[in-house]
Amino acid sequence: MKIDVLVAEIGSTTTVVNAFLGIHTNDPKFIGQGQAPTTVFEGGDVRNGLNGAIKDLAEKLGVDSIEYDDMFATSSAAGGLKMTVHGLVYDMTAKAAKEAALGAGAVIHKVTAGKIRRTDIKEIKEIKPNIILIAGGVDYGERDTAIYNAELIAGLNLGVPVIYAGNIENQEEIKLIFEDTNYKLYIVDNVYPKIDYLNIEPTREVIQNVFEEHITNAPGMEHIKDLVNENITPTPGAVMESAKLLKKHIGDLIVIDVGGATTDLHSVTEGSEGINRILVNPEPVAKRSVEGDLGVYVNMKNIVNLIGKDKLQEELKDINIDEIMDNYLPIPKTPQQKEFVERLTREAVLRATKRHAGTIRNVYGASGKSKIAEGKDLTEVKYVVGTGGALTRLPKRVEIMKYICEYNKNKDLLFPKEKAKILVDNDYIMASLGVLSKKYEEASLKLMLKSLNLEEESECTLG
């Protein structure tokens, strides 16, 4: 069978392929999904998992084989895109660099502010990052810290790509530092060129390009380009691309992905004019946060402890919590298992949103009490979108997402309001469409709107 496009999502445990027809027409279609275990990376070959997923797709479609014109891929395999980020002041350049890296789909293992210490150097060696990002200093401002950090990192001889996104005055100096090393250097516009101004999109784009260029360096990924003839993007970065594309066409939104190990939240919104006037520090329009302790499988026990086991048992009166936890499955089967996972998912969604969203608080000065805002303003969000296994497959997925809008009544959290609409990525293809949009933007948008069933909006209330 001839397919226009295949998109492979290569994870650490599972490889999924999504098939699309009619990409060049006004009515593109998602026709099926295949999956297979991802090959063990140490000494393995990722092509086995990819070929297994394609074979599974063929069986589901009832055909002998699959041919395709284009194949794209997203990957979170081999630990994802590991990065370390090094800036000057944590709330300024370090934070801006971190936002750029997260938005590109990176897994950030370390952030430093100021001059790197010996303990930092030791950790960087142990982390073995795929990419190192150096920032620091507004344009024509402080120079020494970024130069000092660059010299120490150059001396490590790690041989990984280095991105410099700091003070423009340092660019030539940074080039000289890395000139005779085994690093490949990328010079990018400053992520924080002046006070209270973020410029993270150029860095985000370069991080994704560097990831694709150097993907073959990741263990077990050296053969990936043998089958993939188009873009390869970090999976979380692909979800962000989908969120940004949707924002252009339907308005401000957040996308929540509750997984087995983490909960990711992507927001694309400028926020309200009123909050922006009292905002203490700038926030990016497109922001991603990753909560590594909020997963409903790997981190199940952690969420149970956050809720409180006794409280959870009181809420779920008809379920034996100990028995469920002793026989826990990655995909719940029975009604009791599903109810248990739904409660964990609701907790993960609420806590991830609280950590992502900003707050309003009172401050007291010479002129009396005034209000300030800190963090990301989600009050203008029009849509709350659920993707990932939990929020696309659980029976009460819509009610779970409605809860975050209801939760903020009479509180000073900058949460989405009750007027927001709930959408579900029913086909579970947002990551695939994010990477597909790099070449087929119009088709990707149409496929996304179909998966979201926009004509079946549900208002964000618990009524």
Confidence at 92, pLDDT banded by 50, 70, 90: confident
Distance between CA atoms of 238 and 75, rounded to whole angstroms? 9
Distance CA 387, CA 393 (A): 9
E-only strand ranges, 210-367: 232-234, 253-258, 263-268, 286-291, 359-365
Can you say how many angstroms the Cα of residue 54 is from the centroid of all Cα atoms in its chain?
25
In the three-class reduction of DSSP (H, G, I as helix; E, B as strand; rest coil), residue 322 is classed as: helix
pLDDT at 457: 53
What do you get for the CA distance between the two ends of the chain, in Å?
A: 47
**Range scoring the smallest mean pLDDT among 141-155, 215-229, 318-332, 337-351:** 215-229
Amino acid at site 377: D
For domain 2-78+218-230, which CATH number applies: 1.10.10.10, 3.40.630.30, 3.30.420.40, 3.40.50.2300? 3.30.420.40
Give the model confidence (pLDDT) of 152-211 as tens digits: 999 999 999 999 999 999 999 999 999 999 999 999 999 999 998 899 989 988 998 888
Chain segment 359-404, per-residue pLDDT in tens: 999 888 878 888 999 999 999 999 999 998 899 999 999 999 999 9
Q: With respect to CATH, is domain 81-214 assigned 3.40.225.10?
A: no
Question: What is the structure's pLDDT at 235?
Answer: 86
DSSP β-ladder status, 162-164 and 368-374: unpaired
* Residue 384 DSSP SS3: strand
Could you tell me the pLDDT band of residue 42, with boundaries at 50, 70 and 90? very low
CA atoms within 13 A on the CB side of 78: 24
Torsion of CA 181, 187, 191, 192, to 10 degrees: 90
**DSSP for 132-157, written as a single string:** EEE--S-TTS--HHHHHHHHHHHTT-
Residue 44: what pLDDT? 59
At 41 the pLDDT is 46
For residues 46-60, average pLDDT = 89
Can you give the pLDDT at residue 220?
Answer: 58
Band (244; pLDDT cuts 50, 70, 90): very high
